[in-house]
Amino acid sequence: MSHRRKLAAGNWKMNGLWADLAEVTKLMERHPDPGCEILICPPATLLSRMSDLTVDGAVVTGGQDCHAKLSGAHTGDISAPMLADAGAEHVILGHSERRADHGETDEDVRAKALTALDAGLKVVICVGETLVEREAQNTLEIIGGQLAGSIPDSVTGENMVVAYEPVWAIGTGKIPTLGQIGEVHDFIRARLEKRFGAGVGRSARILYGGSVKPGNAAEIFAVPNVDGALVGGASLKADDFSPIITALENSR
């Protein structure tokens, strides 16, 4: 139905040692010519090695966050040019764990996105409501505010991906109903088209994230305007991530 290339993105979070790169080798062996894009965002310590490992394979790599400044006295932080230099093509920004653990605001995410785009990275901008916000029926208002505040004006359909990740579904094994996922994805698509026009709005990919597993991936990927997934726990092992990738390849 759409011309958007599907994207299976793995977010390793604060997991992964050198030995775990064997999972990436296994994944590339299983998907030598995948029918979708495969992105893995390892911890920064593994980025260079993973990028070297995947240079001839179908997997691309990304960072999990970057600083809004290009360089300077920011101990422990990582800049967008450093990620690009380490082989990253993408960076996840505004993940709910960054928003919760580090107090990142929409303005912070937007500033980081501008720097990342300048460095030639593609940005995966995360939005999502908490359970309290969903129960108060504020989901669309919250998502609308996050989209407006976090996405810079200068994005294109190629260099920006939105990930819808309900906070209450991350790492919990709970997922929204397919109807709820569809409602939010349609809403995000409409907002993107309204703000950026049909060209950008229709070509940007919208991922679902939050407890995506081999057992629920196919039904999630059948929801209109779901162009792939941002996968946490189930991206760590090839045995879990591979069937999710296959489900995406086989989706409409």
Residues annotated as part of the active site: 95, 165
Pairing between strand 160-164 and 122-127? Answer: parallel
72: phi > 0 → left, psi -120 to 50 → alpha, else beta; which? left
Of 196 and 241, CB closest to ligand PGA? 241
Residue among 191, 232, 240, 245 that touches ligand PGA (CB under 6 A) = 232
Contact between 50 and ligand PGA per CB under 6 A: no
163 neighbors 125 (Cβ within 8 angstroms): yes
Within 8 A by CB and 6+ apart from 56, the residues are none
Contact between 231 and ligand PGA per CB under 6 A: yes
Contact between 42 and ligand PGA per CB under 6 A: no
Three-class SS of residue 223?
Answer: coil
Residues near ligand PGA (CB under 6 A), total: 13
124 neighbors 9 (Cβ within 8 angstroms): yes
Name which of residues 146 to 175 contact ligand PGA (CB under 6 A).
165, 170-171
Q: How far apart are CA 81 and CA 71, in angstroms?
A: 9
The three-point CA angle 47-49-52 to 5° equals 105
Contact between 212 and ligand PGA per CB under 6 A: yes
Stretch near ligand PGA under the rule CB under 6 A, chosen from 36-44, 62-70, 210-218, 240-248:
210-218
Contact between 233 and ligand PGA per CB under 6 A: yes
Residue among 211, 225, 246, 251 that touches ligand PGA (CB under 6 A) = 211
199 neighbors 152 (Cβ within 8 angstroms): no
The sign one gets for the Cα dihedral 42, 161, 103, 237 is negative
Task: For the CB of residue 177, give the shortest distance to ligand PGA in the complex, in Å.
Answer: 17
Contact between 230 and ligand PGA per CB under 6 A: yes
Of 235 and 246, CB closest to ligand PGA? 235
Residues at the site binding ligand PGA, with contacts judged by CB under 6 A: 11, 165, 170-171, 209-212, 230-234
